[in-house]
Amino acid sequence: MAERADDVGLPMKLIAASGTKVQAPPMADPPRFAAAAAQPAASVPTPAALRNNEVDRRTLILGQGMSLAGEITSCDRLIVEGSIQATLEKCQHVIIAETGAFNGQASTENADVRGRFEGDLTVRKRLLIRAGGHVSGTVTYGEIEIESGGGISGTIEKAGTNNADLISLSA
């Protein structure tokens, strides 16, 4: 932090002892600010950099209190805080928040369910059902983890197995 006002190199008005305003003479950029002024600040992303961020650009967030019905053909990450009735294909991550409800069909690499899912769910890698989360319907998974307080019901199948390993659960 600057100890004196003239350390920042900005023109300013000075008040003389008599109370009269006096304009300070314009100052040249001090050498320590000249290099910084020529380059954009690295810590502040430009709007173009934000638009080019692949993760943010391919994320669909359905906020709390919102609802959506339709088909989602491709996204990297879907975050559901509201209510959705849809068919979802080619998604890498589905996150259903505590306030979220998904009804329909979804195919994803990973799913994290804190809210409710009802329908056909295919999770090729990891399905995580958190405490308070519930999945019902036809579920196919690569691996599954259910926290205490989470629930699952319906027809449950491990991906890559034959129908002899099919499990029907109701909880």
pLDDT in tens, 28-38: 544 444 444 44
Lowest-pLDDT range of 82-86, 94-98, 166-170: 166-170
Is 88 found in the same domain as 35?
A: no
> In terms of domains, do 139 and 156 share one?
yes
User: Does the predicted model carry a pTM greater than 0.75?
Assistant: no
Q: Rounded to the nearest 5°, which phi and psi values hold at 73?
A: -90, -20
46 plus 70 within the same structural domain: no
Q: What is the pLDDT of residue 162?
A: 62
Query: Is residue 6 in some structural domain?
Result: no
What lies within 8 Å, CB to CB, of 113 at 6+ separation is 96, 127, 128, 129, 130, 133, 134, 135, 150
Q: Number of folded domains in the chain?
A: 2
108: containing domain: 59-169
Query: Does some domain include residue 145?
Result: yes
Statement to judge: residues 66 and 25 lie in one domain: no
d(CA 95, CA 92): 10
Q: Which residues pair with 136 in a beta bridge?
A: 118, 153
What is the pLDDT, as a whole number, of residue 163? 55
